[in-house]
A = this chain, B = another copy of it.
Amino acid sequence: MQRYFILEDEQWSDEAVTIIGDDVHHIYRVMRSQPGDQIICTGRNGATAICAIEAISSNQVTARIMEWVRQDVELPINVTIAQGLPKGDKFELILQKGTELGATSFIPYKAERSIVVWDEKKMRKKQQRFEKIVKEASEQSHRSLIPTIQDSVTLKQLLELSKQYDACIFAYEEEARSSDFQSFATVLKKLQRGMNLIICIGPEGGFSENEAKALTERDFQAVRFGPRILRTETAAIYALASISYHFEELEWDT
C-alpha cells in the first residue's frame, strides 16, 4: 500500500483525509488509483491510518479513514547526524539513506576542511530539494515521521546545540587506526530508549586537530566505525545501520 504524508491539520477530519498538491498527481497519474483503493495516510504527529479513496479529481483526493494503525517503525533512539559539508551531491545521498535508516534530523555544518560553500542565494532551492528527498525517502521506507533538516551552522554553533543531547560522539579516523580505540558499542550500550544522540561526521578530509580538540572538550566522544577508513557519506550510514541493528535486531533477540 502506498503511504502519503498529510501534514496540515485541516486536511484531517474525524472521518476523512483531504489530499492536495503533488500527492494528488502521484495518486491520480502515477499510481492510477481508483475509488475504493486503499492507501496509508500519516499525519504530522506520526499518527497513521489505512484509508479508502472515495473521490478523485485532478486537484484533490478524498479518502475515508478505515482503521488507525500502531506502527513501530521509528528508531528507539533519536539520532541527529551533524554532517560536515561534503562535495557534490553526497549530502543528498546522506539525506536519502539516513532517512531510510531512521535518522531524526540532519544538521549540515561548515567544517574547517569543507571545500564546498553553500551559496546563500541558491539555499532556498536547495532546501526545497532536500525536503523533497527526505519526504520521499520517509514514504518509501514506510516511516511515520519525516526527519528535519536544519540550517547549516558553524562548529561553534554546533557545540552550543550539542547541549540538548544526552550523548555526543564524533567519527574520528584516528580511532580506526588505533589499537586502543573506543568501540562504538561501548557508547550504544550506555544509551536508553528515547534518548537523543548526536553524531558528528567530518567532511572528505576529516576533522582538523583543532576541531577534534574542540569536540572532545565539549564532551563529544571519539569513536570508530570499524577498522576500515570510510568515506564521509558512508560513516553516517554505518552509524545508523549499527544503531538499528543494536536496538531493533540484537535487543529484540535477547
A228-B183 contact given A245-B246, A246-B245, CB 8 Å threshold: no
Min CB gap A26→B, angstroms: 17
A55: interface (CB < 8 Å): no
Task: Tell me whether A253 and B186 are in contact (CB under 8 A).
Answer: yes
A64: interface (CB < 8 Å): no
Min CB gap A87→B, angstroms: 14
Selected from B184, B185, B228, the residue in CB contact (under 8 A) with A143 is B228
Q: How many residues of A contact B (CB 8 A)?
A: 36
Residues of A within 8 A of B (CB): 72-73, 97, 100-102, 140-143, 183-186, 189, 224-231, 234, 237-238, 241-242, 244-246, 248-250, 252-253
16 CB < 8 A contacts A-B: A72-B227, A97-B234, A102-B226, A141-B228, A142-B229, A183-B249, A185-B252, A225-B241, A225-B244, A226-B244, A234-B237, A238-B245, A242-B242, A242-B244, A245-B245, A245-B246
